[in-house]
Amino acid sequence: MNVTSSPSSSSPFDMVSGALGQYIPRGGAAAAAGSADSEGDDTARQRVHANPTPGRQEQILGAVNLDRDLRITRCNLDAPVFAGLDAVTGSPFVDLLPPGDVPTVTRRLRQVLETGEPHVARVQRLRRSDGSELVVSMSILAAAAPQEGLTVSLIAMARRLHLYAAETAIGTSLDIGETAQSLAESLLAWGDVAAIDLDFAMWTGEGLTEHPQERIRLRRAALVPDVAWPDGYVTPGDDLPSDASRLLSQAIRRADAAQAIVIPDREAIERVLGSPRLVRALVPGDRAAGVACIPLILDGAPPVVLGVAEVWRRAGRPFDDGELFDLQELVARTSHHVDLARQHQREHMQVLALQRRLLPRTGSDTIETASVCQPATPDSAGVGGDWVNSFPLPDGRTALVVGDVVGHGLGAAATMGQLSMEARALLSAGLAADEVLEHLDETVTLLDDAESGLAAGYSALGSTCCIAVYDPVSHHVALSSAGHLPPVLVPPGGPAGPLAVRPHPGLGAEFALREPFDVHAFAAPPGSLLALYTDGLVEDPAVAIDEGISRLADAVSAVHPWDALQQAARRVVSALAPVHRHDDVTLLLARMIGYRKGDTATWRLPSRDDAAGRARTLVSALLGQWRTRDDTRAGVVQVVSELVANAVRFAGGPITVRLIRTSHGLLCEVGDTGNGRPRLRRNELLDDSGRGLHVVHGLTTRWGVRWTDTGKVVWAAVAR
């Protein structure tokens, strides 16, 4: 009975080598070539790897172990198909590669060393000692602890396996650039240079050209190998010259159908291109002598051309019919992957546009804000539903809102937009932060309820939101959270740290699990810095979430009072956010300024008939000290008088009068203990009720109501 070690105790090299032992005949390559023992020279050896005998001797799997310097420490390449590969212990692995592939493969090897994430199914060429090349599917794995280094598994590619492995590798990303790069790397097995040129609309999210007679604008999406190219040659990210785009699109669209074409030699290439400028732009160096151009076609009626794949060869290596067929088959198989990446890019652009519209525009005289929103990388699940917003409320306060909708893509973006605008509308209407969250909670529940008529095929249950409202007069913040991570506060001269916000299950929780939304009030004197964020900024699989929040607190506390806030926000994000983002990264920084003490005044008056007269006297005296114009003073005095009179008549308890001098005018506030909402009504000729609000409406630029724990505050803005 065979005994093998468990996977947990074996390195990737040992496991691959163990698999090899089941297939390689005893004696290795020498035994495999036993039929040629009488001719045991290099000719017989070459004949074995060029046309291996079917059956047990047609082994296609090999393994190479590398140290951290990428030098070979062990190898198992005994199969006949690997004959001619000089994998010598102690030699650099890159000696097995064509020179043009060395930078790209070295970068991949280093990446696996650093991250531990495997890189699988790369179609790669290897050089034999006789100058010929072997095409393999190469996978790079990190060595199992306690060992260090890498294990590189190699699968020699038969034609059908080559096509399958190439298609598998190409379909692993939703990023247009990475998908095109994978296709170009796969095509390199048939040539010396491979380039992918795609319709410019692939990146912009516009509709693709659907009429064969129209010319497409091409942009280079990928180019291999990764070497220094001549001046003037089109490299990834560059647009092809308009003449080149026209020539390529016309060449592949013969007889109203997109077809592959082959230009066999340098003379024909120069004749077709017609100008030295186009030759410099499209021909990769002086050695390139032939090219095959294969269109990437999306099936339909009519078919849509997504772009062109180009494979270049040196002189003396013409394309035969079988190779051209293989190229067409590979490109045809993978065109749908390119189209999937295009659709993902289009959705990505649409969600980004919505996210940008929700970003805060500017701060105000009483608060400075800065925000950074970095979407998830395009090859991840898609842009998420993170949003951040800050906006001045009509009564002079400022609202800071951050939210994270569950999921990714257009469904999350639609819900994000709905919740963000609903929160803004309710806060502007005067509702407190906890009341707004109650409404958002109900909205999320309704969106998930098929019987409500609001279901959109998407569930946002478990989404989170945090709302902070800053009062620039009292220098206090009222904060309420629905399952969101706690904001970080940096008071002037004090230690930074997360606020003690009570945990909450989030929006849309089951009725039995619902909890009230608490209001956390805290002082934020001028100079305080408040950071609101989403989990993508602080989550790291390698550390606890508390450690991530602690890192954020350290980074925010390093922001100096004289630093430009927007630049500081970018520094914080760049220091904490991962390079490859699987989730959106959002940060909102708010630096509190507030009003100066001399720009505000507050009086408490008893609810008596003489309250209005008392308020007129106090306000008029203060406006005189502020040197307010007479007409403005008269208007403000009248507004305060009417609001105090209404409070005495319709409410009860003590009355609070507050006057604020802003950069745009004056803000009057009258608070009482009543819970009735003042409404502007159309009165009859002899009806005196409600005339005070008509006076207020005529003298102000805006007025409204906000609710408090003890009653309400009616505010009115008067221009200077």
How many Cβ atoms sit within 10 Å of the Cβ of residue 498? Answer: 16
**Tokens 């066999």 — which residue?**
264
Quick one: three-class SS letters along 546-560? HHHHHHHHHHHHCCC
3-class SS of residue 62: strand
* DSSP code at position 34: G
Q: Write the pLDDT tens digit of every residue in 173-224.
A: 777 888 888 888 888 878 889 999 988 877 776 666 544 445 578 889 999 8
What stretches in the chain show pLDDT beneath 70?
1-59, 157-162, 164-165, 167-169, 171, 205-215, 250-258, 300-302, 348, 351-352, 354-363, 376-384, 408-410, 449-459, 511-513, 579-582, 681-690
Q: Write the pLDDT tens digit of every residue in 406-453.
A: 876 667 777 888 888 899 999 998 899 999 999 999 888 887 765 554
Q: What is the residue-wise DSSP string for 309-363?
A: EEEEEETT-PPPHHHHHHHHHHHHHHHHHHHHHHHHHHHHHHHHHHHHHHS----
How many Cβ atoms sit within 10 Å of the Cβ of residue 164? Answer: 16
pLDDT at 64: 93
> 707 - beta bridge partners?
712
pTM metric for this prediction:
0.61
Comparing CA positions, the residue from 431, 430, 427, 463 lying closest to residue 445 is 463
Residue 494 CB partners (closer than 8 Å, separation 6+): none
pLDDT at 59: 62
3-class SS of residue 534: coil
Q: What is the residue-wise DSSP string for 158-186?
A: -HHHHHHHHHHHHTT---HHHHHHHHHHH
Q: How, if at all, do strands 119-127 and 133-142 pair?
A: antiparallel
